[in-house]
Amino acid sequence: MNEAQTQDRIVGGMAGRYAAALFELARETSAIDAVAADLDALAALIAQSPDLARLVRSPVLGAEEQLRALSVLLERMGITGLAANFVKLVTANRRLFALPDMIRAYKALVAREKGEVTAEVTVAENLAEKHRAALEAALRSVTGKAVELRVQVNPAIVGGLIVKLGSRMVDASLRTKLQSLRHAMKEAR
């Protein structure tokens, strides 16, 4: 499965339809990057705040309560225009629970538009900026496209890294190498 097919799959379903509609509006108004920045900020806040995550997912709260709370939040964050109107529409339509998926689908559409690919990288500890730049350069040379890195820290891999790029995965973690060595030693007995 190539990158375009992967992104088509991501942009499918209800969340994908909302994201596609937002993307088309953003394209028509030349606001693709501004909307992406606003949605990124909102997604980061949802990920950091358990209370906001509950508000977004809660089927108990009514649309009016969610809309009031989100309107105040959007205003405080400085999110206006198309992104704010989109969030309010999603809330009014009782689809707020799918907002994180909509944001991911929107970002996939933006990446496709810009000819970018996303690589999910798992490391044992935070990457220094020079290592991050070297990894981006290496992946750019392999793909021939701009690469956005999504870095996750997982100390359980001990060292090395795991890179997922589309349907490909390279596991160069120390944990996997040690497990392979352990398995080989058991077979040798």
pLDDT value for 41: 95
pLDDT value for 9: 55
Return the domain boundaries, the chain.
3-112, 116-188
CA torsion angle for 35, 38, 41, 44 (degrees, to 10)? -50
Whether this prediction's pTM lies above 0.85 is answered by: no
How is residue 156 annotated by DSSP? G
Structurally, what CATH architecture does the domain formed by 116-188 represent? 3-Layer(aba) Sandwich (3.40)
Q: What is the pLDDT along the chain (189 residues), one digit of tens a residue?
A: 444 454 455 567 899 999 999 999 999 999 999 999 999 999 999 999 999 999 999 888 888 999 999 999 999 999 999 999 999 999 999 999 999 999 999 998 998 898 888 899 999 999 999 999 999 999 999 888 889 898 999 999 999 999 998 788 999 999 999 999 999 988 887
pLDDT value for 61: 85
Nearest to 102 by CA among 16, 42, 31, 33: 16
Decide if 3-112 and 116-188 have a common fold: no
Nearest to 86 by CA among 44, 98, 113, 50: 98
Q: Domain 3-112 adopts which CATH fold? A: Peroxidase; domain 1 (1.10.520)
pLDDT value for 114: 87
